[in-house]
Amino acid sequence: MANLRIFVGPCDDQGRIYINEELKMKTQLNVPKVYEEDNLADGEYRIRFELWNTGGWGWHYSVEVRADDKRIGPLAAQGGSGAYNGRIDEETTEWVLIVKNGKAESII
């Protein structure tokens, strides 16, 4: 069965991981975290990373997705949003993980 690891580095202010529209993990200010799921059944998994800036001004993040021997990232960015508080839409990233015959076939 396939194994999934999502490494979210320090985020300002908050990183969120969703799988098939379900919130799986939320980070806090500058605290790295790892989401792990073993024994994924065959199927399609929609993975979404969202960055939320709840304190305004500057933001940053890093994220890496690994499924068996497949990998995306690490991806990282930083910027500013002024006084805006909320999801940084241009940094929302989505991938599709396909598990077939118990193995990660692709991440796209």
pLDDT in tens, the chain (108 residues): 999 999 999 999 999 999 999 999 999 999 999 999 999 999 999 999 999 998 889 999 999 999 999 999 899 999 998 888 999 998 999 999 999 999 999 999
For Cα atoms 14, 3, 45, give the angle at the middle one, nearest 5 degrees: 65
Containing 44, the helix (H) or strand (E) segment is strand 43-53
**pTM for this prediction:** 0.93
Domain that residue 22 falls in: 2-107
> Looking at residue 98, which CATH number applies to its domain?
2.60.60
* DSSP secondary structure letter of residue 56: -
Question: Is the distance from CB of 81 to CB of 87 less than 8 angstroms?
Answer: no
Total domains, the chain: 1
